[in-house]
A = this chain, B = another copy of it.
Amino acid sequence: MTSEVKQKARLAQEAAAVMNRLTTEQKNAALLQMADALVSGSEEIIAANALDLERGREQGTSPSLLDRLALNVDRIGGIAEGLRQIVSLPDPVGAVLEQFERPNGLRIEKVSVPLGVIGIVYEARPNVTVDAAGLCLKTGNSVVLRGGSAALESNRKIIELLRAALAGSDMPVEALQLIEDSDRASVNEMLKLNGLLDVIIPRGGASLIRNVVENATVPVIETGAGICHTYVDAGAQYDMAADIAFNAKVQRPSVCNSMETLILHEAFAERHLAQLAQRFIDANVELRGCEQTRALVAAAKPVTDEDFATEYNDYILNIRIVADLDEALAHIRKFSTKHSECIVTEDAGHAERFTQEVDAAAVYHNASTRFTDGFEFGYGAEIGISTQKLHARGPMGLPALTSTKFKVYGNGQIRG
């Protein structure tokens, strides 16, 4: 018997051949119908979501996770608005990226094409269901979604509404698939579907991403995990450094571009750490520091290498004091997940070395790492932030969901 995963992936692949031929207008019309369907189906979605929330409460799910899961009219309106914003983004598919003629008369075009079938593996945030579907479909891809079981009722209802909307459009209904099997085996089956899935994009926490990276034979775009550092150099201005560091940690600790470790030059630390630490303590941030830090900040607990290697996504901050830029660079080389890294300095040479030498998707001089984001970069909605170096790096907008094809036109050329 064919499994649900394989069966739906096959349907998605067949639909991909049709998706590939749709015009931008046809795709946009379908996305707008999807947005309308979410709004007019809000009550049904909220009823399904209530079942997920009830099960979550019974199972003792934490309030913050329940909050991520919860949908209401406003949130659904926001999700639908996200789809309309995707409509307004330029369609990268069909663009002629290169065009040239060879001496033998061959005319070669390199054109942008959809990737084909994209698998998305994610956790319990039902907004991802809609965002990911919208971005994949806009770029002419079929999509196979596998969300967390905690949001299954919500996702089912959302997909039912979206597929009904597609049935009234030029877009094939089968281009949008939801895997409902909540057993982990269904994820692992997706990861090996070479020939049916062209790429898998994981969206979620570190353990979800690790499982995908370690087990997938389908190509993966790794996203998300961010152990981000801010290094404050010797002569940095206190106010700027403190504001950037505070923003990077506290403005939204739960996201991947927030700071986990603050590295201070010892000259800066001696003058300013006591004051800066107090600002974090007042915001209920737990501090963990190296020996030198603890000599200056009594409240700091000792920090371990394991702490330095942990993405807290929480009100916890590691602090390390270093003798110079080289020591800071070495620390970052050792612990960075190559997401976003920042130097605060007035020294142009140090800024140049840092931005050149630090190996990360985004390197900042005198600005908060929190800006690594598709909207903040002006690219619009993103499918995630790539922390790998192949295909796409940093915020991934629509072009990251395309591939290319060479079209070669001849009149009988053969190779000599």
Q: Interface with B: A74-82, A121-129, A383-391, which one?
A: A383-391
Determine whether the beta carbon of B20 is less than 8 Å from that of A366.
no
One of A33-41, A292-300, A399-407 contacting the partner: A399-407
Task: Decide yes or no whether A17 CB sits under 8 A from chain B.
Answer: yes
Which residues 341-390 of A sit at the B interface, judged by CB distance below 8 A?
351, 355-357, 359-368, 370-372, 376-378, 388-390
The stretch of A61-69, A100-108, A154-162, A313-321 in contact with B is: A100-108
Instruction: Known A363-B405, A394-B404, A409-B365; judge A356-B219 contact (CB<8 A).
Output: no
User: Does A115 touch B at the CB level, under 8 Å?
Assistant: yes
Give A415's nearest chain B residue, CB to CB: B370
Evaluate whether A408 and B367 lie within 8 angstroms (CB atoms) in the complex, with A198-B389, A389-B403, A414-B243 already known. Answer: yes
Q: Which of B115, B222, B364, B412 contacts A410 (CB 8 A)?
A: B364
Tell whether A20 pairs with B357 under 8 Å between CB atoms, given A219-B390, A371-B413, A389-B198: yes
Contacts A366-B410, A367-B409, A405-B361: A219 and B388 contacting too (C-beta < 8 A)? yes
Taking a contact as CB atoms under 8 Å apart, the answer to whether A408 and B115 are in contact is no
Contacts of A198 in B (CB 8 A): 389-390
Query: Is A58 an interface position by the 8 A CB rule?
Result: no
**Chain B neighbourhood of A243, CB < 8 A:** 412, 414
- A247 interface residue, CB < 8 Å from B? yes
**How many copies of this kind of chain does the complex include?**
2
Chain A interfacial residues counted at CB < 8 A: 67
Whether a CB of chain B sits under 8 angstroms from the CB of A217 is yes
Would you call B367 and A17 a contact (CB within 8 A)?
no
A415 & B376 in contact (Cβ 8 Å cutoff): yes
| A221 contacts the other chain (CB 8 A) | yes
A272 at the interface (CB under 8 A from B): no
Cα distance A184–B61 in the bound complex, in angstroms? 46
Query: Is the C-beta of A251 less than 8 angstroms from some C-beta in chain B?
Result: yes
Least CB distance, A134 to chain B, in whole angstroms: 21
Q: Is the CB of A406 within 8 A of B362?
A: yes
Contact yes or no, B412 A366, CB < 8 A: yes
**Shortest beta-carbon distance from A58 to chain B in Å:** 37
List 16 additional A-B contacts (Cβ < 8 Å) besides A17-B359, A116-B389, A363-B405. A21-B357, A102-B376, A106-B371, A108-B377, A113-B359, A219-B390, A221-B390, A240-B412, A362-B405, A362-B407, A364-B409, A365-B409, A368-B413, A370-B415, A390-B390, A390-B403
Residues of B within 8 A of A408 (CB): 362-365, 367, 371
10 example contacts (A-B, Cβ-Cβ < 8 A) are as follows A21-B357, A115-B390, A116-B359, A221-B390, A240-B412, A364-B408, A367-B409, A368-B413, A368-B415, A372-B406
- Tell which of B21, B378, B390 touches A100, judged by Cβ atoms closer than 8 Å: B378
Query: Mask for A255-282, Cβ within 8 A of B = 1, else 0?
Result: 0000000000000000000000000000
Chain A positions 207-256 with a Cβ under 8 Å from a chain B Cβ: 213-214, 217, 219-222, 239-240, 243-244, 246-247, 251
> Which residues of B have CB within 8 Å of A146?
none
Residues of B within 8 A of A102 (CB): 376-378
Q: Are A405 and B390 in contact (CB under 8 A)?
A: no
Contact of A366 among B113, B388, B411, B415 (CB under 8 A): B411
Cβ of A329 to closest chain B Cβ, rounded Å: 9
For A370, list chain B residues within 8 Å (CB): 414-415
Contacts of A221 in B (CB 8 A): 390
Assuming the contacts A251-B415, A393-B404, asked whether A367 and B410 have C-beta atoms less than 8 A apart, the reply is: yes
